[in-house]
Chain A
């Protein structure tokens, strides 16, 4: 009887022990695998070069949010959007937006560089969180964006060709670059 109880006690102890450990393991295990291609500093260096940088935070008012959503034809989930201004001889020479767009399951983080007159200079993927479909990080896809302005559609099936096997990520990247162009226009950046 004692042996039986002792064995039961040991079992309970083991069960409790594993119960204590399990949540810690679950918390430590990432929800997704971040593939970090560029840190914030590296992305800004790539897009802004040696310009003097100033970071500002854009907090859209209710009216701005409404206008942005109308132009984007979708919701604007962000309450704050960081914008970097690159100065050359005291004048803005370039703008950079670090944005996040939902891929199939998780957000894609990327940087969009714009000239003061609203032309895309460069797009680079910084963090990709899906297990598959990272073809959008390749130059063969991203090279479609430089030169785009608000006059362009910047849409898959219009002026952007999606990557086979990365269809949703391709749509997300196009939507994100379009968002950067709309933000540039809305803020009247020059």
Chain B
């Protein structure tokens, strides 16, 4: 559009898209659509359907960026990625010297709806892009710094009234880390959610949700290319193909007042192959366990079926 005006959009056709007047299980979704107007390098206005900047993964969630197919349990339940809301605000990056980078995002957003549950956390509380359920607005910000290339630290916050009357409130803090050194990489996020006591309907029953929520994930990557494959079809003409071994642990508790089956642990071990930076073939095994069982050393008790997941992803 212009050197200082950008339009970004991400439109997803999920599970085959929307077919048969919406009778199939597919979806056509806008995951983000923003208009950016650059005033200075460090001051850029953004308006539209904005990715909520709590944690790093919700903002950088594209499949070709990630090294596993499934997002961490924490970023499906506590940070309900992909989490976007209509709103406006500013973001920017400052470079005080040749090493440091400081970045920020700050927006006024529409806010969550009354859909918190034990087990699914904030996932059912993501708002519609079409209408607001109350007169309150949400505030969110993420500030981060990178003192040198290879280390990035961020802290995101979010506040919203979530019921129709605007009497129930929710606040959230999420810290994130990304560290790279040679072939090693560590990334993680940890978050705490405090909210007004509420209830949700499950079948015929009203269930109280009166405790806070927390969760985290920690993921390690090791990038390599074995010598014995050099010169093979997995390498030739591809400049810098790479394999990545991935290990991840993630835990959540969506009501700290109750120790129940909704308190879960996820363990992931995966391997992927990137022939070029924007294309990746992934395979991973995911163990889904119950926190209470894990605390007793019972690694056999699954909270959901364990899964073998494979996918291909390409960025374009």
Contact = CB atoms under 8 A, between A and B. Distances in A.
Interface string A129-165: 0011000001111011000000000011111011111
Given A74-B239, A138-B95, A168-B278, A131 B149 contact: no
A189 interface: no
A155 B182 CA distance: 9
Contacts of B100: 140
A121 interface: no
Nearest to A172: B277
Q: How large is the interface on A (under 10, 10 to 19, 20 to 34, 35 or more residues)?
A: 20 to 34
B238 A74 contact: yes
A3 interface: no
Interface in B178-237: 178, 180-183, 185, 223, 235-237
A157 B183 contact: yes
A37 interface: no
A161 B238 contact: no
By DSSP majority rule, is chain B's interface helix, strand, loop, or mixed?
loop
Contacts of A35: 3
Interface residues on B, range: 20 to 34
Contacts of B146: 140
Given A144-B149, A161-B180, A33 B239 contact: no
Contact of A163 (B60, B99, B149, B237): B149
B152 interface: yes
B237 A140 contact: no
B242 interface: yes
B277 A171 contact: yes
Contacts of A164: 60, 152, 178
A4 interface: no
Given A155-B240, A161-B150, A143 B98 contact: yes
Nearest to A132: B6
Contacts of A138: 95, 98, 101
A165 B154 CA distance: 15
A51 interface: no
Contact of B278 (A104, A131, A139): A104
B65 interface: yes
Contact of B238 (A73, A132, A143, A155): A73
Contacts of B278: 104, 168
B101 to A, nearest CB: 7
Contacts of B235: 73
Nearest to A163: B149
A177 to B, nearest CB: 12
Nearest to A156: B240
Most buried by B among A156, A163, A164, A171: A164
Contacts of A104: 278, 315
A123 B223 CA distance: 25
A167 interface: yes
A171 B240 CA distance: 8
A171 B3 CA distance: 24
Interface string A56-74: 0000000000000000111
Nearest to B56: A164
B65 A167 contact: yes
Contact of A168 (B3, B178, B277): B277
Contacts of B180: 161-162
A138 B60 CA distance: 21
A25 B148 CA distance: 45
A104 B279 CA distance: 12
Nearest to A154: B240
Given A72-B239, A144-B149, A171-B277, A165 B183 contact: no
Contacts of A161: 149-150, 180-181
A131 to B, nearest CB: 6
26 contacts: A72-B239, A73-B238, A73-B239, A75-B237, A104-B315, A138-B101, A140-B95, A140-B146, A141-B149, A156-B240, A157-B185, A157-B223, A157-B242, A158-B223, A159-B182, A161-B149, A161-B181, A164-B152, A167-B65, A167-B277, A171-B239, A171-B240, A171-B277, A174-B240, A175-B239, A175-B240
Given A138-B95, A140-B95, 5 more contacts: A132-B6, A156-B240, A159-B182, A164-B60, A165-B60
Interface of A: 33, 35, 72-75, 104, 131-132, 138-141, 143-144, 155-159, 161-165, 167-168, 171, 174-175
Interface of B: 3, 6, 60, 65, 95, 98-101, 146, 148-150, 152, 178, 180-183, 185, 223, 235-240, 242, 277-278, 315
Which 3 residue pairs are nearest across A and B when measured between Cβ atoms? A157-B223, A139-B98, A74-B239
